[in-house]
Amino acid sequence: MASKQLDPHPSRAKGEYRTQRAKPGRAFDVRAATLVVGGDPAARLGLQAQVAANGHDCDGAEDLSHALARLAERPYDAVIADLDSLPALESAQILQALQVAPGEPAVVAMAQMDNAGQAQAVWDAGVLGLLRQAPLDVEVRFALRSALEARRLALERKSLSRRIQNEVLKQTKELLDTIQRLERVEMGVRRSQEEAIYRLSRAAEYRDNETGMHLQRMSQYSAILARKYGLTHDRCEIIRTASPMHDVGKIGISDLILYKNGRHTPDETEIMKQHAVIGYEILRGSQSELLDAAATIALTHHEKYDGSGYPRSLAGRDIALEGRIVAIADVFDALSSKRVYKPAYPLEQATQIMNDGRGKHFDPELLDLFWESLNDVLEIQARHSDAERHAAQAQPVSA
């Protein structure tokens, strides 16, 4: 029995394939739409003929601008770029522009490759295949087949990631609805509510690879600072219980960005910043004073006192008090704790960094009160060190 193969259709949605039975005599297992980009007409037409003869729907473009225009008009599954005939831009710029075009085509580079350094630079640009000039039919066939398979797997992974994120967001809202119902009953269930909040916060923490006891420490640092500022016991308890949810919005950030190795691009950084808004949207609109405080903290804990923070560039006391408190507690714990990307800074270094941010990142009055409470802070730090993670892992945040 003939096996089923994936057949792209010009009217399909991005990344969607239609199944059909493989046809005898085709050189490619997967029929696809391919675009050949090159400034040498004879070489481009010759390569188009090679690709079309093996069963692809093949078009050509003479330069990058024409290629991007074609990619905007219709989805292509693969692009072959003749880098030697496209001298206007650096090869890496050409390849990166093609990779992020609509449809996210599989990009195969073709070049003379006089030395290993040139070949490595092309691979580093993220291509899925590499051809020498005047390639043999078998080389074209193999390069495209491999690139298309890699693209298919990448698109399936993205689709799965989106489905998981949507399901997580759905279940998160259901959990928050449950928390609101629990708040209406007697005080005897308050402990259960706090544990549910803590476990939800840990879900976001695990996605961000935070240290084990981070939520325990920063929530209690926040309560210490709130008490030092003169807030009521009830309000301090609300801040203590709500503050672990400060980064819950990271549940809605794509794995591809959240777990990226290396520095984020400016666009990816802007997407990462959206976790503050996502967290606020998840938490806002509740009749619960606790969840209302958590929404405010999620939205404002990355604002900076001088107005250079995000997401709203608020400044001074336009930033909610809860957000200003949690900003200090969160940064102090990040600086003084070990992370996968840094060691724990000594107390003197952490103190100096935060003092450098006085009046810029941090509310000066609150920062002074935090230092006045440093003995209590260090006691909490010792009590909830990461060495105690496994012993405390199943426990809710406690005073």
The rounded radius of gyration (Å) of the Cα atoms in the chain is 27
pLDDT (tens digit per residue) in 122-143: 888 888 888 888 888 888 888 8
Provide the pLDDT for residue 89: 67
DSSP assigned state of 248: G
Q: In angstroms, rounded to a whole number, what is the distance separating the alpha carbons of residues 365 and 358?
A: 9
Whether a cis peptide bond, with omega within 30° of 0, leads into 105 is: no
CA distances from 43 to 80, 170, 176, 180, 344 (A): 12, 52, 61, 67, 58
Provide the pLDDT for residue 398: 41
Residues in the chain: 399
H helices present in 187-213, as ranges: 190-207
Q: In angstroms, rounded to a whole number, what is the distance separating the alpha carbons of residues 72 and 103?
A: 9
Provide the pLDDT for residue 6: 39
- Which whole number is the average pLDDT over 381-399? 58
- Which whole number is the average pLDDT over 240-268? 85
Q: In angstroms, rounded to a whole number, what is the distance separating the alpha carbons of residues 279 and 144?
A: 42
CATH topology for 4-155 is Rossmann fold (3.40.50)
Provide the pLDDT for residue 231: 96
The mean-pLDDT minimum among 68-77, 113-122, 294-303, 323-332 falls in 113-122
Work out whether strand 106-110 and strand 129-131 pair parallel, antiparallel, or are unpaired.
Answer: parallel
Distance separating the N- and C-terminal Cα atoms of the chain: 67
CA atoms within 13 A on the CB side of 318: 13
Provide the pLDDT for residue 29: 46
Q: In angstroms, rounded to a whole number, what is the distance separating the alpha carbons of residues 214 and 202?
A: 10
Residue 61, helix vs strand vs coil: strand
Give the pLDDT band (50/70/90) at residue 13: very low
Provide the pLDDT for residue 36: 93
Which structure tokens are listed for 356? 């450098």
Q: In angstroms, rounded to a whole number, what is the distance separating the alpha carbons of residues 226 and 124?
A: 49
Q: Which of the pair, 198 or 102, is modelled with greater confidence?
A: 102
Which structure tokens are listed for 318? 């336009």
- Which whole number is the average pLDDT over 39-49? 89
- Report domain extents, the chain: 4-155, 185-392
Q: In angstroms, rounded to a whole number, what is the distance separating the alpha carbons of residues 338 and 72?
A: 46
Provide the pLDDT for residue 390: 44
Q: Are 217 and 244 in contact (CB under 8 A)?
A: no
pLDDT(27) > 80: no
Give the pLDDT band (50/70/90) at residue 11: very low
Write the DSSP assignment of 18-43 as a string of letters.
EEEEPPTT-S-SS--EEEEE-S-HHH
pLDDT(380) > 90: yes
Q: In angstroms, rounded to a whole number, what is the distance separating the alpha carbons of residues 253 and 15?
A: 21
pLDDT(201) > 70: no
pLDDT(343) > 80: yes
DSSP assigned state of 344: P
- Which whole number is the average pLDDT over 301-324? 97
Architecture of the structural domain at 185-392: Orthogonal Bundle (1.10)
Segments of 101-215 assigned E as strands: 106-110, 129-131
CA distances from 385 to 51, 54, 278, 377 (A): 61, 63, 30, 12
Rounded to 5°, the CA angle 129-79-18 comes to: 100
Most confident of 21-35, 187-201, 316-330: 316-330
